[in-house]
Amino acid sequence: MRSMSAPALAALAGDTVPMVVLIEMHFDPVLYMCLADCNVEHDGHVWQGLGTAAGFDGVTDAASEKRGITMRLSSVPIEALNLALEENTLGKRVLIHVAIYDSATYQVLTVQQVFSGTLGQPKVSEEGGKGGIELTAETRSVTFRRVKALRLTNTDQQRLYPGDTSFQYITKQSSHQDVWPAASWYQQ
C-alpha cells in the first residue's frame, strides 16, 4: 500500500488528473524519458518527452504477482536503432515513476516509484526508414525465481576452479551422522 499526501489524493479525486510517467534507464549516461508530448523538468533533470511514440504494458502492484514489463518505442530514426544495438542493455537498471501534478498550478504534488528492475536484450524492428525498439524489464523477484546454474558440488567447483579440492568430501559430510555422548557423560 502506497501513501500519498492529501493534495495528491485530492488531485486524483478530480475530473482530470495531470500526471506523467517518468522512465529512468541507467545507461552511460543515464537516460531520462517521459511519456509526455513535451520535455519535463523534475529532480534536476530534463526528461525527454516521447509523446505517443512510446508505451508500455501495465505495471501491477499486487504482492502475489511480480512480473516484468515491456516498453515499446515506435517511429525511431535508424541512427537511434544503431545506438540501441551498440549499447549493452542487459542487466541495466530501470526505474519507472509516476508524477502527479496540481491541475491549477501544474506544480508537482507527488512522485511515486511504481517499478524497479533490470533490462533485457532489446528487440529491434525496421520498416521504411523508421524503426521500433521493444525493451523488456523484470523485477528482482523474477530473477530470484530462476533456477541457478551452479550448485555447491565438487563438479561445479572443478569446472570453475580446476584443481580446487575444497568440495571433494562435501557429499560424505552432508550424509554423515554424528554421535554425541549422552548428557550424563558430561556430568561426571
* 1 — pLDDT class (breaks 50, 70, 90): very low
Q: For the whole model, what pTM was predicted?
A: 0.66
Q: Does residue 184 lie in a domain region?
A: no
Domain co-membership, 50 together with 98 = yes
pLDDT of the residue at 16: 76
Whether 135 is covered by a domain: the verdict is: yes
32 has pLDDT over 60:
yes
Residue spans of alpha helices (H) in 29-77: none
Domains held by the chain: number: 2
Residue 157 sits in the same domain as residue 80: no
187 lies in some domain:
no
Residues 35 and 103 in one domain: yes
Q: What is the DSSP letter of 152?
A: S
Top pLDDT among 77 and 56 is at 56
Task: Tell whether 185 is covered by a domain.
Answer: no
Q: What gap in Å lies between CA 89 and CA 121, rounded to an integer?
A: 6
Same domain, yes or no: 123 and 30? yes
Of the pLDDT bands very low, low, confident and very high (cuts 50, 70, 90), residue 79 is: low
Asked whether residue 183 is domain-assigned, the answer is no
Same-domain status, 94 and 115: yes
pLDDT digits (tens, 9 = 90+) for 112-141: 888 888 888 888 777 766 677 888 888 877
Residue 68 shares a structural domain with residue 129: yes
Q: CA-to-CA distance for 61 and 66, rounded, in angstroms? A: 8
pLDDT at residue 109 in the model? 81
11 with 79, same domain: the answer is yes
Tell whether the model's pLDDT for residue 159 goes beyond 90. Answer: no
Do the domain assignments include residue 61?
yes
140 and 156 in a single domain? The answer is: no
Q: Are residues 140 and 168 in the same domain?
A: no
Query: 111 and 161 share a domain?
Result: no
Q: Determine the Cα–Cα distance for residues 83 and 38; give it in Å rounded to an integer.
A: 22
- Percentage with pLDDT > 90 across the chain: 2
Q: What pLDDT, on a 0 to 100 scale, did the predictor assign at position 63?
A: 58
pLDDT at 61 over 60: no
The answer to whether position 49 is within a domain reads yes
Residue 59 binned pLDDT confidence (cut-offs 50, 70, 90): low
pLDDT of residue 116: 85
Residue 188, domain member (yes or no):
no
| One domain for residues 135 and 158 | no
Summary mean pLDDT of the chain: 78
Residues 138 and 74 in one domain: yes
Q: Does residue 33 or residue 64 have the better pLDDT? A: 33
Q: Which residues pair with 132 in a beta bridge?
A: 125
Q: Which domain holds residue 169?
A: 151-176
Quickly list H helices, 107-160.
140-145, 154-160
